[in-house]
Amino acid sequence: GAGVSQSPSNKVTEKGKDVELRCDPISGHTALYWYRQSLGQGLEFLIYFQGNSAPDKSGLPSDRFSAERTGGSVSTLTIQRTQQEDSAVYLCASSLKPGSNQPQHFGDGTRLSIL
Amino acid sequence: ILNVEQSPQSLHVQEGDSTNFTCSFPSSNFYALHWYRWETAKSPEALFVMTLNGDEKKKGRISATLNTKEGYSYLYIKGSQPEDSATYLCAFNAGGTSYGKLTFGQGTILTVHP
């Protein structure tokens, strides 16, 4: 079956612009996660959606970052007034059920470059 | 701040060698430990999710062990092949209010030379 799909695969934008990154999880997966990997850094947790519960936003680095998940499926990560330090690979993952003992299935990521 | 450390940072082995690397994590508030393989130009792939102290898991030539009391997990690869070349990531979850949230180590970059 189809895996986690992310778009765009690459995005280059100017500092100060807003960007939207999209994630289509695996059908039927109730949990969805966003991570980012900045140059030379490890994978950093951003936000976690679990079913209809309030998302865990504890990893969002600033109020310029927001995410939503519509209809329990597709998710959009929005970065407003982008800064150069936002340049990173943004990865989305989903799991069948919420829970830390569930393997996460990752998309190929969006490589974001802020000029 | 949770500290998840992986060692070594990188490793070069010859085809056919067996190898292992380490993931260290906080021994308190343990809930789960994940291992992922991330090949260049691909997405991270789940290898194992481990939850019980003393757990051992195996997938083909790759196996992992878990010691939650002392806070470490080992990943072993037997008879390494060039296609095993990848970054191997471990990720820790503390449960409780961190339910679902993984803290990743920096990864071990494995290169297997033919």
Question: For B39-79, what is each residue's pLDDT tens digit?
Answer: 998 999 999 999 999 999 999 999 999 999 999 999 999 99
Question: For A75-102, what is each residue's pLDDT tens digit?
Answer: 999 999 999 999 999 999 999 877 768 8
Residues of A near B (Cβ–Cβ under 8 Å) read 3-4, 31, 33, 35, 41-45, 48, 50, 56, 58-59, 91, 93, 98-109
Report CB contact under 8 Å: B46, A43. no
Contact A73, A13 (CB under 8 A): no
Question: For B4-30, what is each residue's pLDDT tens digit?
Answer: 999 999 999 999 999 999 999 998 888
H/E stretch holding A94 reads strand A88-95
Question: For A37-59, what is each residue's pLDDT tens digit?
Answer: 998 888 999 999 988 888 999 99
**Number of Cβ atoms within 10 Å of the Cβ of B19:** 19
Whether the CB of B40 is below 8 Å from some CB of chain A: the reply is no
Report CB contact under 8 Å: A108, B42. yes
User: For A25-43, what is the mean pLDDT?
Assistant: 92
pLDDT at A1 over 80: no
Please name the residue that has the structure tokens 């943004």.
A90
